[in-house]
């Protein structure tokens, strides 16, 4: 395979100008053109990862010569706090830290401590979560909990050592991830969610072993349809295992499942539980059952771009506003105006209008860059 270069660093041609004009309405929470509230802010704190998963950061692209962002390009913890504070003021109730692998960001607990002090519009603590591959949780779990992290989501695509190592492509073991999950449970970073990306022909035979294993635990296993994010995963529709098929397999081989209500409007995963009451599973049907109509998420990249859709190809550069030297006394107001105008004008519903040629749209942002 020929190496491909996927440019992730800022380019002026890939930035959409922000609108800093005063807004017509000061209503909160802010709603977009389809009346979707802003609820979730996902913050990528690093573009680096210690895995090279074949569907996210394949070695053919992210090899030893790949140029990751220099530290000076990354948002500082103070800058992230400033941006997050504005989003919470406008209605965000949940913040998720992602990567890359977020635990590779040095002193991440310092950022968590800052964000854990934010309060929602009704005076509650903002829900603060983190998605990780789990390999550093044994070392970091209690520190993260002490800093104010509420819970974690851990990625695990197989229980079979051979399959898991084939997918992460860097020789990490299942045992290391399971130990990380145990450490998170000991630190009370729950309910812990475990995400499995299902790719037909690679790990779909692990659906039942994974479901059987986690059925005996208090953790929530979630199956994610392999999807067409970015250009590096070589996505093909015939490699997708639908959520309905996953549910059918589990119901047939383990125990029937029944659907339960979402925790909140716009929740990504559809929730199911075993009819015996033992265990919950979730399915994320981003390919076969688009959930755009309730999407309440916005994403902040590690170097300060806002993306209103996971499938976007251009971002809105917020870092330039924060770092400019003139009019610093107006930064907070301009930032609030920009976010209000950005969300109020949002029309994104990419998954609902996905075309048969979607896998050829090679200029979208990468999952490794913006987080899931």
Q: Alpha-carbon distance 368 to 153, whole Å?
A: 16
Quick check: 83 pLDDT over 80? Answer: yes
pTM over 0.75, yes/no: yes
Using one digit for the tens of pLDDT, what is the confidence trace for 289-324?
766 778 899 999 999 999 988 777 788 999 999 998
Q: Domain map of the chain by residue range?
A: 35-190+296-328, 208-292
pLDDT at 231: 46
Minimal CA–CA distance to 217: which of 196, 250, 192?
192
pLDDT at 358: 43
Q: Alpha-carbon distance 50 to 147, whole Å?
A: 23
Q: Which of 86-95, 124-133, 224-233, 282-291 has the lowest mean pLDDT?
A: 224-233
Give 99's pLDDT tier (boundaries 50, 70, 90): very high
Instruction: Give Cβ neighbours of residue 39 (< 8 Å, ≥ 6 apart).
Output: 29, 91, 92, 93, 94, 264, 265, 266, 296, 297
pLDDT at 232: 43
Encode burial over 208-224: b for 16+ CB neighbours within 10 A, e otherwise: eebbbbbbeeebbbbbb
Rounded to an integer, the average pLDDT of 121-148 is: 97
pLDDT at 369: 53
Give 13's pLDDT tier (boundaries 50, 70, 90): very low
CATH number for the region 35-190+296-328 comes to 3.20.20.70
Quick check: 205 pLDDT over 70? Answer: yes
Quick check: 360 pLDDT over 50? Answer: no
258: helix, strand or coil: strand
Give 362's pLDDT tier (boundaries 50, 70, 90): very low
First and final C-alpha spacing in the chain: 26
Q: Alpha-carbon distance 321 to 278, whole Å?
A: 50
């Amino acid at each position: 395979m020929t190496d491909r270069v996927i440019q992730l660093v800022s380019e002026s041609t890939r930035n959409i100008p922000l609108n800093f004009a005063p807004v017509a309405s000061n209503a909160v929470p802010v709603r977009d053109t389809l009346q979707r509230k802003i609820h979730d802010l996902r913050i990528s704190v690093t573009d680096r990862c210690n895995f090279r998963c074949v569907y996210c950061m394949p070695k053919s692209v992210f090899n030893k010569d790949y140029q990751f962002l220099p530290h000076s390009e990354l948002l500082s913890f103070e800058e992230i706090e400033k941006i997050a504070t504005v989003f919470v003021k406008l209605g965000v109730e949940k913040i998720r830290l992602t990567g890359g692998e977020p635990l590779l960001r040095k002193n991440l607990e310092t950022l968590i401590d800052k964000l854990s002090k934010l309060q929602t519009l009704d005076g509650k603590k903002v829900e603060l979560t983190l998605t990780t591959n789990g390999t550093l949780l044994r070392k970091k779990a209690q520190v993260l909990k002490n800093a104010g992290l509420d819970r974690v989501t851990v990625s695990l695509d197989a229980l079979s050592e051979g399959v898991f190592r084939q997918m992460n492509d860097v020789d990490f073991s299942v045992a290391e991830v399971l130990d990380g999950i145990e450490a998170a449970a000991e630190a009370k970073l729950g309910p812990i969610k475990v995400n499995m990306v299902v790719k037909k022909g690679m790990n779909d035979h692990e659906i039942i072993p994974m479901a059987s294993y986690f059925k005996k635990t208090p953790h929530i296993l979630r199956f994610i349809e392999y999807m067409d994010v970015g250009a590096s995963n070589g996505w093909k529709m015939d490699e997708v295992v639908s959520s309905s098929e996953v549910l059918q397999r589990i119901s047939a081989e383990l125990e029937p499942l029944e659907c339960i209500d979402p925790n909140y409007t716009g929740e990504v995963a559809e929730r199911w539980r075993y009819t015996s009451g033992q265990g919950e599973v979730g399915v994320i049907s981003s390919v076969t059952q688009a959930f755009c109509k309730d999407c309440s998420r916005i994403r902040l990249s590690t170097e300060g771009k806002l993306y209103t859709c996971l499938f976007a190809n251009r971002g809105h550069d917020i870092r330039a506003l924060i770092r400019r030297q003139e009019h610093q006394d107006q930064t907070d107001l301009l930032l609030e105006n920009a976010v209000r105008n950005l969300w109020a004008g949002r029309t994104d519903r990419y998954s609902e209008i996905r075309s048969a040629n979607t896998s050829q749209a090679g200029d979208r942002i990468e999952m490794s860059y913006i987080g899931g």
